[in-house]
Structure 1
């Protein structure tokens, strides 16, 4: 196993974020599903340099709250 830069991997997955002019991404927490060559699934977690565990927990908790607010529509809703 070796450390790999996430930029090219995330680019390949088509990930984007909407930012206004002048916005600055100050820190990042990346959570990913990893499937190894045998099909075993694991969870990957990477943080930007200097992100404390307190900030990491805050980002994770906030993201979970936002994800829980998303309304999922089904075909029956149309």
Structure 2
């Protein structure tokens, strides 16, 4: 196993983020589904420097709330 820079990988997957002029990304937590050569699936995490476990949990919980709201919005749109 070797450590790889996540930027090119995310670029290859077409990942992007919407930012307004002057916005600054202060920290990041990347959650990735990884499939190995045998087809086994695992979860990988990558964090920016200095991101504490408390901050990681906050980002995950905040993202979960946003995803839950999107899911609710999709149900309402489809009704």
What TM-score do you get using the length of structure 2 for normalisation? 0.90
- SS of match in other structure, 1:33: strand
After superposition, the C-alpha distances for 1:35-72 in whole angstroms (9 at most, x for unaligned) are: 00000000011100000011000000000110011133
- After superposing on structure 2, the runs of 4+ consecutive aligned residues of structure 1 that deviate more than 4 Å are none
Gaps of 5+ in 2: none
The alignment's C-alpha RMSD in Å is: 1.2
Instruction: Report the Cα distance in structure 2 between the residues aligned to 1:47 and 1:60, rounded to whole angstroms.
Output: 12
Q: What CA deviation, in whole Å up to 9, does each residue of 1:2-53 have, x standing for no partner?
A: 1100000000000010000000000000000000000000001110000001
Instruction: Kindly tell me the number of residue pairs found equivalent between the two proteins.
Output: 75
Q: In proportion to residue count, which structure has more helix?
A: 2
